[in-house]
Structure 1
Amino acid sequence: MLNLLPSMPMSMRINLFTYAPKVLRPSLRFIPHQCQQYALLSALHSVFKDAIKEGELDFLQDKWLKITITDLDLSWLLSIKDNKFIMAPRQSSLSGTTNISETVSFSAAGDDLLLIAGRKEDPDTLFFQRRLKIEGDTELGLEVKNVIDAIDLDNLPSILHSWVNFLAAQLQQVKQAQNERSRD
């Protein structure tokens, strides 16, 4: 599928990136929390292993970072404990809450987070355009943002690194095409 993407007409690529969250959103809620936890924590430890080892994320000890992908309705609460990322349990479907509240939260649409991850968009730009929201302890939020800005994407597993770069480049082309069409 990924190999076909560059050869698709731009209108199809625009539709694919526009409708993908709407198609994925209902099915993603059925992915067990343990699977999400394993995948996310594995990726975070891979990317941030040097930062954790050097104590650059110690400021997250006893504090909770909430990350929300708004268009997919996915949220996770993360912290650092014993030099490892930890994830809070899933919110109770009955009460909608956990006993943990976030110290700071980052929220954005999936495509904007993909552009940040692929280094195609600057988090500061998205913040000032109100496409990336940082709420709560702003000083902690700036520390998190600075660590994210400093990460070396080469620490990602090679297949994941390739996918992020490829999809971010495709998405950037789609956004540019959308902007050009809206100006015409």
Structure 2
Amino acid sequence: MTDRPPLRKAAAGTIIALLAVLVLAADQFTKYLALENLPYEQPVPVIGDFLIFYLVRNPGAAFSLGEEVTWVFTIALAAVAVVIAWLAATRVRSRLWAVALGLLLGGVLGNLTDRVLREPGFPVGHVIDFINTPWMMPAIYNVADIFIVSMMIGVALLVLVGLGLDGTRESRKADAAAGEPAASDEAAASGDDGTDAAASGAAKD
């Protein structure tokens, strides 16, 4: 069974862009629903203590860290988005990498949109958070955060299994690299044998 051929650059870029748009749309739509329907900073149990909606505006990062330097998070999100876009245009040929980076980009753009467009204004807008799962973590988060965290884990797993951005595996690259010197040695040995045989024939003549 042969491996599937790598994606064309245009196909990889298309997958990343489509997934990013879908995640961005889902994130912004759920934030819109939260703003329209949830009371501010009041818990709304959905499934007991398993899932609670709690609407807040977060100027910082996770656990409200860095509230005084919101603009730093805006720059960081923009930088990540640019790097992913560059990888999509130049390096990515793997389907798994395209999916992971597309979903990650969508999450990044979701929170970046809040930083840029929401109050109190560019580039220090507050991110809308409304999901609380106290059994798992004390933080309040949103749909974009879910994709950012899960896809960062996904990227780490892809790196650990040795899957390159181009779709090749590091183990195969290592095997190929190890095979090249062996082939050269075999050729050299064959050359030595041929030389010795020629020398022996000349001696007999």
Q: Same fold (TM over 0.5)?
A: no
Between structure 1 and structure 2, the one with the greater Rg is 2
Q: Which gives a bigger RCO, structure 1 or 2 (Cα 8 Å, sep 6+)?
A: 2
Q: Of Structure 1 and Structure 2, which has the larger fraction of its residues in strand? A: 1
| TM-score (norm: length of structure 2) | 0.27
| TM-score (norm: length of structure 1) | 0.29
